Chain A
């Protein structure tokens, strides 16, 4: 009797040893590249990649068609960086996504008609100039100047928004993105444009 039980236990152990472990090793979903200029399929009422493309394109084209900016005999110097953009809305957004796209594409399209001044690198520039003037390094190959470039115009912007929560978990959000070019001598505004849109969806997506 005990021999039969012993045999049964051994058989059970052998069978259990042969069973496969339940590991989820099925083929995964391959990564896909999608068109960042098209509307997102997710239910989001925030600022998406297609909105960033659309707003930057609109502003670039608008600035290029303004003779007070690109019609000057001497190309004006412009400061355009994310520190000059205020996000007063509730949508989380990396402001550099807009300003970098605008500055780079505008610089390419303007082809010398607009000069962009990098104030983000001013500390590094001054440090380099100090090393050159003290003779630690030589003067470089291009030029030496009395001072770094002053700014003629500064592009300031505001991102504003208003959220509405309706019955049935329906969320709507109105976005208003404005840009203005300020004359840094007179303080006047020589150019301005606005991009606004409203989205509605059931529940909002989270942005990081």
Chain B
């Protein structure tokens, strides 16, 4: 009788212990981009949101520090599409469609790093940030063409404008 009482109690304790060890699951509903973490390998032909203000991940835990945690993604912008096109002079051009999900106009700054076929950056100096204003609940395109015909890949960095 004493053993039967201990068995379910042990099971409950074990369940609670294991649930506290589980990794939080992040579900990005519709955004194909995420915040860049440290030591993350740079993916070629990608759009990186480097500003936590644009894609917030609010971590919430049940019962304070105890229990399972989950991350709620609150995005101000959504990267709807990214296209690699070609200009009339044969230079590559990246076009990124950005949607403002907020009820206010949003300033977004973008910068493109172009890479050659060996994935070596072609930018010699600072390339600067290009600012675009996106009205509330609207979509605008950020576009930039490469300066060199050797450009093969792009990495677009997006941050909130100051």
Residues of A whose CB lies within 8 Å of any CB of B are: 35-39, 50, 53-54, 57-58, 60-61, 64-67, 70-71, 105, 109, 111, 197
In which size bucket is the chain B interface? 10 to 19
> CA separation between A65 and B89, bound complex, in Å?
5
Contact of A65 with B93 at beta-carbon distance under 8 Å, contacts A39-B162, A71-B88, A109-B148 already known: yes
- What are 27 A-to-B residue pairs whose CB atoms are below 8 Å? A36-B126, A37-B126, A37-B127, A37-B128, A39-B162, A50-B129, A53-B126, A54-B128, A54-B130, A54-B131, A58-B130, A61-B147, A64-B89, A64-B91, A64-B147, A65-B87, A65-B88, A65-B89, A65-B91, A65-B93, A66-B88, A66-B89, A71-B89, A105-B147, A109-B147, A109-B148, A197-B131
Instruction: State the main secondary structure of chain A at its contact with B.
Output: helix
Q: Is B145 an interface residue (CB 8 A)?
A: yes
> CA separation between A191 and B131, bound complex, in Å?
22
Residue of A nearest to B143 (CB): A61
Beyond contacts A38-B162, A53-B126, A64-B91: 16 other A-B pairs, Cβ-Cβ < 8 A, are A37-B126, A37-B127, A39-B162, A64-B87, A64-B147, A65-B87, A65-B89, A65-B91, A65-B93, A65-B145, A66-B88, A67-B89, A70-B89, A71-B88, A105-B147, A109-B147
A39 to chain B, nearest CB (A): 5
A69 to chain B, nearest CB (A): 8
